Amino acid sequence: MEALVAAPPPGAAIDVAWRSFELRPKHAPPLPPDYLARIQAARPQLYAIARERYGLEMNPGPFGFDSRPALIGAKVAEAAGVGPAYHAAAMHAYWQEARDLSDPAVLGALATDVGLEPAAFLAALDDPAFNAQVEADIDLARQYGLNGVPALVFDNRYLVSGAQPLPVLTDVVERILAEGDDAAPA
């Protein structure tokens, strides 16, 4: 997605709106052991692809953590004008530094990293208005029928599920442009 935003097709204006999605809500039932085993078995291949294609060394944080505090933190950061920096910092912290995004100390450090005062940031995580924004995003995901990430919705009508190569994303944008829609893909 970053490559598409950095170099969109001619005539396209890409506006990214991050939305909240909980893969493992706080009170979700435990995953079956055989499912967890399949996830663990697939990780080496995922890590090899990330290393070979993107030069990324994967070192993910805990599996199945409560992501709600981090999702609320994203809304706080967006309101403060540092949403993209927060998203980048959170992704890096989880996927490359094995940090637990449910830990308030980790979230406070992320706030500091993006220029927010950590105590105020952590206090804002209890603000019902920010939680309501997360709930609205989750409701929207249900309306779209989403059940996993990544999921990209273009122009409120085209869904691209899973990690896709740049040409797939570019094709969607070019299709929207060819249809003559004046709305910018999101």
Please check whether residue 166 is in contact with residue 4, taking contact to mean a CB–CB distance below 8 angstroms.
yes
> CA-to-CA distance for 159 and 161, rounded, in angstroms?
6
Please check whether residue 176 is in contact with residue 7, taking contact to mean a CB–CB distance below 8 angstroms.
no
Identify the CA nearest to 152 among candidates 141, 143, 167. Answer: 141
pLDDT level of residue 185 (50, 70, 90 thresholds): very low
Compute the C-alpha angle 68/71/73, nearest 5°: 110
> CA-to-CA distance for 63 and 36, rounded, in angstroms?
9
Please check whether residue 112 is in contact with residue 58, taking contact to mean a CB–CB distance below 8 angstroms.
no
pLDDT level of residue 186 (50, 70, 90 thresholds): very low
- Mean pLDDT check: name the lowest of 7-16, 45-54, 70-79, 168-177: 7-16
Q: Beta 151-154 vs 158-161: how paired, if at all? A: antiparallel
Average pLDDT over residues 156-167: 85
Average pLDDT over residues 95-104: 95
Domain 65-144 has CATH 1.10.3720.10: no
What pLDDT sits at residue 182? 52
* pLDDT higher than 60, residue 122: yes
Average pLDDT over residues 119-144: 96
Strand partners, 152: 160
> CA-to-CA distance for 58 and 46, rounded, in angstroms?
9
CA 110 to chain centre: 15
